Each structure stands twice: as C-alpha cells, then as structure tokens.
Amino acid sequence: MRNEIEVEELLRVLETIRSEQYPDIPAEIIREIVIAQFENQDDRTLGRRNTKKIIDDFLKEVVTTTD
C-alpha cells in the first residue's frame, strides 16, 4: 500500500509539471507510463518496452489526427 501512495504522490507532482509546462501532453499518457514503470520495476526491459509502446501509440494517434 505504501508503494501505491508513493505512486499517487509522484503522479500529483508530475501532473503539476505537465499542466504548467507541457499542457499538450495528455495526463493519461503520463499516468500510463508511471504505472508501466511501477508494475515492471523488477523487469526493466519489460518496463522500457511497455513505455515505448505507450509513447509510440500516442505518437501514432497524434500523427493520424493531424493529417
């Protein structure tokens, strides 16, 4: 449970930074990345792979909607 509280605190801080400095990045993307990293902290390769997929999917969506 402590880890979940720490993740939520991290998400709150990141949301403040995102909303002030990077408002074009959806909050859900940041949340997905943090959760992917947290859930795969024992397997950094899998965490990196999942994070890359989240970012790639987001970028594909951005490119598709701007075309």
- pTM for the whole structure: 0.85
Q: Please count the residues of the chain.
A: 67
Query: Tell me: the pLDDT tens digits for 3-50?
Result: 888 999 999 999 999 999 999 999 999 999 999 999 999 999 999 999
- Which helix (H) or strand (E) covers residue 40, if one does? none
pLDDT digits (tens, 9 = 90+) for 37-62: 999 999 999 999 999 999 999 999 98
Residue 36's domain comprises: 2-66
Domains in the chain: how many in total? 1
CA distances from 26 to 2, 38, 46, 61 (A): 26, 19, 23, 12
